[in-house]
A and B are shown apart, each in its own frame.
Chain A
């Protein structure tokens, strides 16, 4: 807590809390609704008046999920795929961001513009050609098929590049005078200094990979290769065509997929926030 310096600090703080609490309610109420729905027996999700808090605790939707689906295998696959995708993405993006922000070479800005331009193409349209390439490589139903197409992200490069630009040029020049190679400057100076940005990217990549559905849907052909989100999508697939959706079950599934991400976020968020002290700009 910062010591109040002015008479208006207190009202400003109170206003801050009011905004915070109001906004938080908006964020959280739908979420409580989600958990409540997941605890309802199927068919009773629309009752009136709407009840925000659960009146009954029916965990059968959760136990059903775990007994009907090989969850352990799905979890393992998801962890494996997510781990390598995230590591790959952080490494590849950090290297590229360093190149684009700190090194001067011919065609750099043109190539970067090209990168940016690819962000503007809707993913749906490259889906089939991309699938055909992965198929041609013989990667259907393999881990590399699930991982490799995701190990770089233009968004990530863009994000890290902005952050690398914030590091004072002096650090760079000083290291060069000491005779450090670019690789050493990159790994010893830039990576430690940009910890928060790298963590941000890692968490974004984690979330994207963990909940990705479309790509695993095409690549994982057998049950052994399925990821969590995909397993749950199969669980809810309308295989008998006219079956009604079991919303409470869908919600339970969504909560289960979400929890690990939430936990990762809770642990990772101190890295976003630690910001200044970690980046070393201050010290």
Chain B
């Protein structure tokens, strides 16, 4: 303890010296593009997805020796990181992100209008893209914010074994809401094999549920559209007159009734209990929940489960009422607005986006099976090349009926969506629909009025 003073002084000196250790390396004489979206998690390094991404990078660097693609890992908390990076000027030059959270970055002027690239790279044209996905990047005013990579419409997953157990025929994409309701009623079975329409149905011992309803807006918004309703005005400034319109209320009531009136989908707490034990996908494959709405990526989730068997997974288009419509989710490539200040760098960035949206890279989408390619030709070729051609065909068909998600249009959509999720959570828990909708309308409109500077 005697020398503690000296030790102290030493530590002070050390604490001052060490920070000068680090130096950031700089590459000279070359264009370096910092790109997020090419890396995978370590345990997936040998997968086709990882190989395809690295191949695209290598191919591009060989063709353009003056360009070095510095591939960065996608950080945890991506949106937060990107925001901080953009504020500090340390954001990547090109990044891959969900179009449903991109609108705010567009509004704040952080991404390049891809029309610049269309001029610089003659081969890169908009007609290569699936229009439903390209929509998500376009504005009425003519700008193209980023370009699509791949995505999926929301469709209906069902378990053919469960259908057979209920003694039914597999559904077809031309079904209506009424047929859907009857189908789910007959699909909901108790432990004696009786269905919901049987007067002796045993409420206490449901072994197979016909459907799953959850609070999440992305799983129910297109039911509202199918009924001819909507949740927000076309200019994105109000939900009054839309969210509380009779068509919308009717659609919400229909979904609520599936749970609380017809009893063909488990109540939220019962669903939690059912699902947490083994995960939802296992419950589905085992036939405990026979049907649920989901996107293309779930094929990968389902086929990698222990309980997976080819006869247990199929997809069908959504039932329709007034309109046959679904919602599309998509991710794409965005170029940092600051890149536009350097013509050489912009050219390189545009060329790389051309590479990433071209046939060669896009053809690998079918190998990975996560999503539909946004490249029209690749998407069509995928139907034949896919390990699940029938399902792939349904997705391609439904993509044509898909509407863009609102997150790609309205910068303030996240606030709206959070409020809608909570509204639906309360309704599914037994809350009064008119009351909950009125609260949501008031709350969301306050937010939107503030957002528009009112």
Contact = CB atoms under 8 A, between A and B. Distances in A.
User: In the complex, A touching B, CB below 8 Å?
Assistant: yes
A183 B9 CA distance: 11
Interface in B32-69: 39-45, 49
A43 B308 CA distance: 13
Contacts of B41: 235-237, 239-240, 243
B270 interface: no
B184 to A, nearest CB: 25
B164 to A, nearest CB: 26
Given A143-B18, A239-B39, A217 B81 contact: yes
Nearest to A90: B11
A64 interface: yes
A135 B4 CA distance: 35
Interface string A229-260: 00001111101111110100100000000000
Given A141-B22, A240-B41, A191 B4 contact: yes
A244 B306 CA distance: 14
Taking chain B's interface residues, is the majority helix, strand, or loop, or is none over half, making it mixed? helix
Size class of B's contact patch? 35 or more
B42 A132 contact: no
A242 B22 contact: no
Interface in B381-425: none
A46 B276 contact: yes
Interface in B250-301: 276-279, 297-298, 300-301
Given A132-B88, A142-B22, A221-B90, A68 B43 contact: yes
Interface stretch (A1-9, A115-123, A144-152, A164-172): A144-152
Size class of A's contact patch? 35 or more
Given A46-B276, A141-B24, A192 B331 contact: no
A131 interface: yes
Interface in A146-190: 147-148, 151, 183-184, 187-188
A204 B421 CA distance: 39
Contacts of B306: 43
- 8 smallest CB-CB distances across A and B, nearest first, come from A144-B19, A187-B5, A68-B42, A142-B22, A242-B297, A237-B76, A192-B1, A135-B88
Interface of B: 1-2, 4-5, 8, 11-12, 14-15, 18-22, 24, 39-45, 49, 73-78, 81, 83-84, 87-90, 98, 276-279, 297-298, 300-301, 305-306, 331, 370
